Structure 1
Amino acid sequence: MELIPDAHLHRVGGVSAEWKSTGERECFSLSLADTQRGLPAGWYRLDGRLLQSEQKAATACLYPTYANGADGDAQIPLPDPSEAGLISALVLFKYDVSALRFCPAQGPSCFRVEDFSLCRVSRKAALWRMLRPTARTPGGFVSRVFGFVTDVMRGGVSQATDALYRDYRRRLLPQDLGDYANWVARYDTLTAERMEDLRVRAEQFGPDAPLISILLPVYQTPERWLRRCIDSVIAQAYPRWQLCIADDASPDKRVMGILNEYAGRDERIDVMRREVNGHISEASNSALAMARGDYVALLDHDDELRPHALLEMAEAISTGTNVGLVYSDEDKIDADGLRFDPYFKPDFDPDLLRSQNYVCHFTAIRTDLVRQVGGFRKGFEGSQDHDLILRCTERLQPAQIRHLPKVLYHWRAIPGSTALTRDAKDYASSAGARAVADHLDRQHPGARAEELSHGHYRVHWPLPATLPKVSLIIPTRDKVELLRMCVESIFNKTTYPNFEVLVVDNQSSEPDALAYLAELEAHERVKVLRYDAPFNYSAINNWAVAQCDGEVIGLVNNDIEVISSDWLREMVSQAIRPRIGAVGAMLYYPNDTIQHAGVVLGVHGVAAHLYCGMQRGYPGHGGRARVAQELSAVTGACLLVQREIYQQVGGLDESLQIAFNDIDFCLRLRRAGYRNIWTPFAELYHHESASRGGEDTDEKKQRFASEVELMLQRWGDCLSADPAYNVNLSLSSLTCELSSPPRQ
């Protein structure tokens, strides 16, 4: 295909393939002369070679012009070239293309373009190309195929294929393409029409509408950011607010001048100046003393509220029952007003709140509650909000805490702010560790807080003097090398002393396996049980539970290998806590990529493992892959639960022979009032169903499909509304990519 250069693209040294760009965004036009009507809509494979002599400023893109004038996906980003400069990608043109441009870089640069081609491919070939990368992950291919089939059953081939293509693009492309900026422009920009809708909604409130007092402690704030902050309050669609500003003795007299100016313009703004600088906690208390509202909301002096922030809060307060605290999602904003780094949060989770101050902004709390707990405490400056939220939530029931899955608050990311700098984060993190430790002393004596990196914490839960006995159940069939690895790693690496191992032999026949089982029978802490029936994971474990006497049951696959020596102590300490159901671990593939960091419901139809395939150490959305938290479900490959609770909910459902029995079990635990916990501090390798094999026969595929159908019928509503996830995050991605559009 011939490349026709724009005016600011020049050949270098007479070499036909090497070019220099002198403009900002110069492109090649692609000659479509060989076709009568351009390129027909459909699937294409793009191949080429792109070598750049300088670090590029942007990803290469295709820009199609559609014959019908439709915009479609007018910009199609391409993957980064390999080290050899090779680019290969699948491209979908939704409509006939009348013109096509290729832009290899942004800004002045030099590059070399060779062997550029665009070939049409069939839908079948396109589907294979999109599914093929998942085959590199054990179990991933089959899981994705059945996820695709489920999507077809739910929404048709076209919709399922579109979702698969979006997922393919997300996996293939770099992560710095401004996805969030594009998402904001499409789904989270307040147009004139939406602003009018906000005004109409605000007018629905009567004279009893809640008054919200915004607490704004101020100290030496640069005028630009202080005005932006206050202006964002004045611009609120909801009119029933009071802005309580306490200046903490700023040396710069211009600060008070600005504050008095605003107070003179709007009677809803109250201003006071402290005579002595008392830092953030005392300044916040000074603002609190002025509050007349039913609720107080927290605002930092250089941050901004969205225009509908207070309206959304007021609606949540008015439609709820005895609401004590409301919080929203948030993002960051830079000096130029660019929004980035959103945090799309789960519903209220006390374990996650102990692990990080994820509630933070934007938050409104009942004023009388804030005063009852003593307001903001000295000694916790930098994390005074975290300390306050911990103390307030201790006095609330979960039903009194509302989460709004909308970005209502922008953290200002400028030098010196906690949103940006390491020193500021360290200052806040140490105070947060003290807040969590104090909370544990009040609510959970014996538990200990450990400060991790920058605003993350680990809680070490206590164990009783007499350690509960754990029965680790390991179903197996042949594959002696896996079983030996599993059992030996447990005995060689586990420091928790009070456990037994029950190896459940399901019709092993290989001589080496039978010999090893006989060897294990002589081990004083191992029981070998014979289950002489067709493989049914649920039935095997239920039968084994009846044979053991441990207070805690551990479901362990025979392809698990221990990494961290305190894995069992960590999981037991979580499992014996009141109202805790299943406890799951961090599992890795042998190549040190994540296999399981918890389960999210609804992904690929039923459920899938978060962050599967990402490198060990991957932080996850909002840093959540680094901390313990409540999740709706965890995998049964390494799962602990109290024996009494296991039996109370009926164990595993034996009609789910292989797939989703762990998900179903966790959902039944949750329905019974228990909370499921995932911890990254119990680390193990998982060699993924190696002894059972894959879903590689018609019988297995039919069985898997029937299990999918059962889960959809039983839990359909739950699967699309995971409280530990967020409607703004995709159900076709394992890495918390953005949902387009949001699912609300």
Structure 2
Amino acid sequence: MIYCYVDEITPDVIRGWAFNPNAADVPVTLHVVFDEQELLRIQCDAIREDVLEAGVPSSQVGFQFAPPASVLDNKTRKLTFKSRLDDVVLVYNNQEVPSIDFTETLPEQIFSYVDGNKAGALTGWVVSGNRITGMKGGRDLLVTCGGEKIGHIQADRYRGDVGKVLSCDPYCGFQFVPPPLFRKSYPQEFHFYVLPEMKELDNSPYFTSFVSDKYEGVVLDVVDQIDALHTQLTQLRRQVRDILPQPGYTLADYHKWATDYFPILRRYVDRTRVADTEEPLVSVICPVWRPDLSDFRAAVESVINQTWQNWELIIVDDCSEDEELRDLILEFVDLDPRIQAIFKETNDGISGTTNVGIENANGEWIAFFDHDDLLVDVAIEYMLREAKRSQADLLYSDEDKIDRSGYYSNPAFKTDWNYRLLLGVNYVCHFVMAKTALVKKVGGLNKKYDGAQDHDFLLRVSENLSARKIHHVPEILYHWRITAKSTAADIGNKSYAVDAGVQAVSDHLARRKLPAKVTSQLNNTLYSVEWTFKEEPTVTIIVPYKDEIPTTKRCLDAIIKLTAYKHYDVILIDNWSVTKEAKAFAKYVEKIPNAQILTLKEKFNYSRLNNKAAALSDSDFVVFLNNDVFVEQENWLNILVNEALADQEAAIVGGKFVYPNQTVQHAGVLLGIGDVAGHAHVGIPRDEGGYAGRAYFPQEMSAVTAAGMLVRKPAFDMVGGFDEENLTVAFNDIDLCLKIRDAGFKVIWTPDFCAEHHESLSRGSDDRPTTERRFFHETQYMLERWGDRLQRDPFYNPHFALDRQVFFDLLPPEVNLDRYPPLPKDQNVTPHLWEKSAEQTASKSSTTSKSAQKPAAKPTRRRKKASA
């Protein structure tokens, strides 16, 4: 006889225990029967200590199982348990029963989360359903703020991360940009509810503030204050509201921007088309392997529909062994004589297949095209126009992503050619066109790097082509198809691409004889390059201060105690400090062998202070460091110097700085933001990548802040240092960077050096009345000196707005060559000015270093004596 006790019955679980008194130590097997039909067989061997304590001889008697989906229909069924060997006594609710009435249905569950404020938009996800229907997205949501309904949205955006983790519908995400009146600079409470249940999402309410730009945030606060002054300030209120930026396009509503943009792009091309005797043939290479047939048909049709007529499409099937696909390809071959097909008899991978297409190309140009993506109809024509204008041999355009419903998302508004960024990520991607001669010169694609073959190709191109011959076309000309198997949806589907990318970058650097260790970031096709140079050129670190001794001492102590780099010295600039603490600090510095104080009793002029200190240094490099920047890494100076050693054209290297709350204060400088320039990625968490992940990677930029900037001393001297006449406080670092770039050198920003910065702790804000006039004149000087250069940053896409939130707000759709960055010019770069023999460097280092056993005994350097 077997006794079966049922403890719990729910739609999700039936739980209980069973045993045979005559063989208590042997777990029993039961057959679960609904309406005389056996649906399950269960083993009763789960540990039940409570049963053992109640006197049953064994604890290995428990069972639990999920009711089959077929019985969860709210109909009453008879549940019994049987055994093939013994009778079963069924006990439920402490009573022996012949069967149990089972009437259950599986309720709908809702899982959700409000992720937070991402670049000005509130994001999250919602799925609902159960284990039978599956978890689906597309739910309607209500958004409220301060008890007021401010939005009604649908959670139907693609969230591959959620779909992967929960094994659910990936189209479950939402992105909500509050109306302007609710984008306050102070925290507000946003509630998100699933309709019609009015179930509040997890992590809702969400508290956040919005600082879209320094004008909008300030003006909105002013409007709130003015409202309290009532009628006497009505006119002032109207004037303030008039200068508020009008709501426009953002990345959050990119689909709307795109649907407005493409007709404008087509009309522009039609309007500006001119007759040309040159009509180069473009060979579009399309490797194919088992695509979705509808996607493939759309891809080929996007080539057929090109406004440029002189093309050939070479379709190379990599032994797909798919008769439907073969028939479709041959259908296209019969339809258009410009289409040729090659059917390989063995599978060779994407590189080998692409190379077959390259070998059969007849065109002057080669265009690379994936078998399920789409070309904008003017893509080839526009690329050829830009090729003629720029005289480039390789061009790449901006791109976006498109799903099966035709929804545009994730635009890649790219930077102009940026070799240092390319080492970290293949930001170029699509749409690439290159001279056929160039493609064949570099050897086409390399099968060794399948999965990252295009990244490897671009790196090899960079070894054979000057930067001036590589041109970025800042228009969306390519749609990358989002499919379940595409890297456009989730790189996790192609983990082999990560390993291939690491190898491609490593091999490229080896060919260039640059010592480095390459690793993957975030287990993705994002790469970190750690330079491993052994040489240590000499460096002088310059730190100006006025009183604020605790801050300055903290800055100095961090340098002395942490810095692993050997060959450096420190010049502290005392700009007329008057406190007793300052005198004590001077005596403290005297005990540090590789530090000295330069005392300057004159009006504060940041440019002049740093120029005077730099004149005392005979080092290879100088580092300009604010006294409110506190280094955290032992290798911080190695990181900066090694970036310069990796590229002889790199004359300035800047770092990443964060506020005390660990949000980003500086991740490079973008020209034109706030009229002159502004910092990139301000306010994002320290460890986040920002737009397109750019905050993750070292890259070339137009400028960096002098709060922590390494500069080659010969280049600094060559351009005359900081402008101490016109830019005494503000923008002198931007001006220096632009002068350095005009001289043909590069400015590099790296997040690998990261430090905490208490911005303007000692000098204060430019918003004070006593400094407003000076700041106004410095702003005007920059606008007059650099003019349009400030509106055309080559490393900030021209479709982004300059007067609102960076990397988020978009300008109205337009094709305007006046917004394009100027074409690069050939420069007479003279890196030989700072190239010294190994013997010179070794000699200089050996005569200037001392023991470094303790912080106070850091290696010292000879330097010119500072005087009062």
**TM-score tier after normalising by the smaller chain length:** 0.7 to 0.9
CA gap 1:422/1:327 in 2 versus in 1, 3 angstroms: closer
Q: Is 1:334 matched with 2:419?
A: no
Q: 1:589 matched to which residue of 2?
A: 659
User: 1:458: how far off?
Assistant: 2.3
SS at match of 2:774: helix
| Count of aligned pairs | 628
Of stretches 388-397 and 368-377 in structure 1, the one that deviates more from structure 2 is: 388-397
Give unpaired runs (5+ residues) of structure 1: 1-22, 29-45, 60-74, 89-103, 113-124, 134-155
1:629 to 690, 699, 705: 699
> Counterpart in 1 of 2:800?
729
Asked if 1:355 corresponds to 2:424, the answer is yes
Residue in structure 2 matched with residue 450 of structure 1 by the alignment: 519
- How is 1:215-226 mapped onto 2 (pairs within 5 angstroms)? 215-226=285-296
What residue in structure 1 maps to residue 633 of structure 2?
564
Task: Determine if the alignment matches structure 1 residue 380 to structure 2 residue 449.
Answer: yes
Q: Secondary structure at the match of 2:350?
A: helix
Letter in 1 for 2:547: D
Query: Are residues 1:499 and 2:568 paired?
Result: yes
Contact 1:333 1:411 in 2 (8 A): yes
Structure 1 residue 190 corresponds to structure 2 residue 260: no
Read off the aligned partner of 1:560 and give its amino acid letter. Answer: V
Structure 1 residues 203 and 276: CA distance shift in structure 2, 3 A: farther
Shift of the 505–436 alpha-carbon distance from structure 1 to 2, 3 Å rule, reads same
Q: Which amino acid aligns with 1:723?
A: P
The equivalent of 1:161 in structure 2 is 243
User: Which of 286, 292, 298 is the equivalent residue of 2:368?
Assistant: 298
Contact 2:257 2:813 (C-alpha < 8 Å) held by counterparts = no
The reply to whether residue 702 of structure 1 matches residue 773 of structure 2 is yes
- Cα deviation for residue 253 of structure 1 reads 1.6
Which whole-Å deviations, capped at 9, do the CAs of 1:110-142 have from their partners, x for residues lacking one?
389xxxxxxxxxxxx998552579xxxxxxxxx
- In 2 relative to 1, CA 245–78 (structure 1 residues): closer, same or farther, beyond 3 Å? farther
Q: Partner residue of 2:254?
A: 180
Trace 1:327-726 onto structure 2 (pairs within 5 A): 327-453=396-522, 454-465=524-535, 467-576=536-645, 577-655=647-725, 656-726=727-797
8 A contact 1:574–1:583 mirrored in 2: yes
1:375-418, Cα deviation, whole Å (9 max, x unpaired): 11111101111111211232212221111100111111111111
Contact 2:139-2:155 at 8 Å conserved across structures? no
| SS at structure 2 position matched to 1:292 | coil
Equivalent residues of 2:184, 2:217 under 8 A apart: no
Structure 1 residues 129 and 738, CA gap change in structure 2 (3 angstroms): closer
Q: 1:490 to 1:425 in 2, by over 3 A?
A: farther
Residues 219-273 of structure 1: per-residue CA shift (max 9 Å, x gap): 0111011111111111111111111110000022211111110011001111010
CA deviations on 1:76-103 (whole Å, 9 max, x unpaired) are 5775999999569xxxxxxxxxxxxxxx
* Counterpart code for 1:726: N
Tell me the amino acid that sits aligned with residue 49 of structure 1. Answer: G
Cα deviation, 1:413-435, whole Å, max 9, x if unaligned, reads 11111111232353222212211
Q: Note the 1:42-81 alignment, pairs <5 A.
A: 48-49=146-147, 57=155, 76=179, 79=182
Is the contact made by 1:463 and 1:573 (CA closer than 8 Å) also made in structure 2? yes
Looking at structure 2, the residues matched to 430 and 160 of structure 1 have their Cα atoms a distance apart, in angstroms, of 54
1:203 positional shift: 6.6
DSSP 3-state at the match of 1:573 = helix
Separation in 2 of the partners of 1:224 and 1:79?
Answer: 44
Does the CA-based 8 Å contact 1:211-1:294 persist in structure 2?
yes
Question: 1:310: how far off?
Answer: 0.5
Q: Distance in 2 between matches of 1:416 and 1:681?
A: 33
Q: Give the direction of change, closer, same or farther, for the CA distance of 1:742–1:509 in structure 2 (3 Å limit).
A: farther
Question: How far apart, in 2, do the equivalents of 1:240 and 1:280 lie?
Answer: 26
Q: Structure 2 counterpart of 1:708, which letter?
A: T
Q: Which amino acid aligns with 2:329?
A: L
Contact 1:405 1:726 in 2 (8 A): yes
**How well do the aligned residues superpose, as a CA RMSD in angstroms?**
3.3
Paired position in structure 1 for 2:196: 108
Equivalent residue, structure 1, for 2:33: none
Letter paired with 1:741: P
Q: CA deviation at 1:199?
A: 4.9
- Which digits, 9 at most, give the CA deviation of each residue in 1:497-553, with x for residues without a partner? 221111111111111222122211121111111111111000000000111232110
Aligned partners of 1:354 and 1:109: how far apart in 2? 49
Aligned twin of 1:235: 305
Q: Deviation per CA, 1:177-207, whole angstroms, max 9, x where unpaired?
A: x421122233x1326xx6466456567233x
What is residue 92 of structure 2 aligned with on the other side? none
User: CA–CA distance in 2 between the matches of 1:291 and 1:56?
Assistant: 47
Identify the range of structure 1 (389-398 vs 365-374) with the bigger mean alpha-carbon deviation.
389-398
**SS of the counterpart of 1:732?**
coil
The answer as to whether partners of 2:139 and 2:156 remain within 8 angstroms in 1 is no
Query: Counterparts in 2 of 1:196-215, with a 5 A limit?
Result: 198-199=269-270, 204-206=275-277, 208-215=278-285
Q: Which amino acid aligns with 1:417?
A: S
Distance in 1 (CA, whole Å) between partners of 2:670 and 2:474 is 17
Secondary structure of the 1:450 match is strand
8 Å contact kept, 1:373–1:392: yes
**SS of the residue aligned with 2:356?**
helix
Does the aligned pair in 2 maintain the 1:596–1:635 contact within 8 Å?
A: yes
1:136-165: CA deviations, max 9, x gaps? xxxxxxxxxxxxxxxxxxxx97998243x5
Measured at CA, do residues 224 and 202 of structure 1 come closer, stay the same or move farther in structure 2, by a change above 3 Å? farther
Residue number in structure 1 paired with 2:38: none
Kept after mapping to 1: 8 A contact 2:185/2:217? no
Which range is displaced more, 708-717 or 369-378? 369-378
Contact 1:476–1:505 under 8 Å retained in 2: yes
Q: CA deviation at 1:585?
A: 0.1
CA 623–126 in structure 1, closer or farther in 2 if over 3 Å, else same: closer
> For residues 303 and 159 of structure 1, do their structure 2 counterparts lie closer, same or farther at Cα, with a shift above 3 Å needed?
farther
- Counterpart of 1:110, as a letter, is M
Partner of 2:853: none
1:736 maps to amino acid: F
Q: Which residue of 2 aligns with 1:255?
A: 325
CA distance in 1, matches of 2:315, 2:601: 74
CA distance change for structure 1 residues 306 and 551 in 2, over 3 Å: closer, same or farther? Answer: same
Q: SS of the counterpart of 1:604?
A: coil
SS at match of 1:361: coil
TM-score of the two chains, using structure 2 as the length reference:
0.68
Specify the SS of the correspondent of 1:680: strand
CA contact (8 A) 1:727 1:742 kept: no
In structure 2, what is the Cα distance between the partners aligned to 1:639 and 1:77? 37
Query: Equivalent pairs: percent with the same residue?
Result: 35
Aligned mates of 1:202, 1:271 — CA distance in 2: 31
Corresponding position: 1:130 with 2:220:
yes
Q: Distance in 2 between matches of 1:337 and 1:182?
A: 12
SS in 1 for 2:504: helix
CA distance in structure 1 between the partners assigned to 2:342 and 2:330 by the alignment: 9
Q: Is the 8 A contact 2:664 2:686 kept in 1?
A: yes
